[in-house]
Amino acid sequence: MNSIKYIDNALKELDDEVQKILLDWSIPLNEKDNLMLPILRVKKVLDQTKEDLTYLKENPPTPNQPCGISKYREE
């Protein structure tokens, strides 16, 4: 699945961005929090999407059946 590969690339870029913010000593701590919060929210959504797509790849639904992936999520 190409989408999983794209998600992996996006997650790596987000991790790099977070590291860049953390290592920048010129940014105050509270500003770092404000900068990282939206990035970490996007990362959480991408992690969940990757998990769902991986599950569907390994356990494809039968034809004409709703997938019901949400019942397997751990929240």
pLDDT tens sequence across 19-74: 999 999 999 999 999 999 999 999 999 999 999 999 988 888 777 666 666 666 66
* Residue of 40, 16, 36, 38 lying closest to 28 (CA atoms): 36
> Rounded to two decimals, what is the model's pTM?
0.74
Task: State how far the alpha carbon of 39 is from the alpha carbons of 11, 17, 56, in Å.
Answer: 10, 8, 26
* Predicted local distance difference test score (pLDDT) of residue 54: 93
Where are the chain's structural domains?
Answer: 2-56
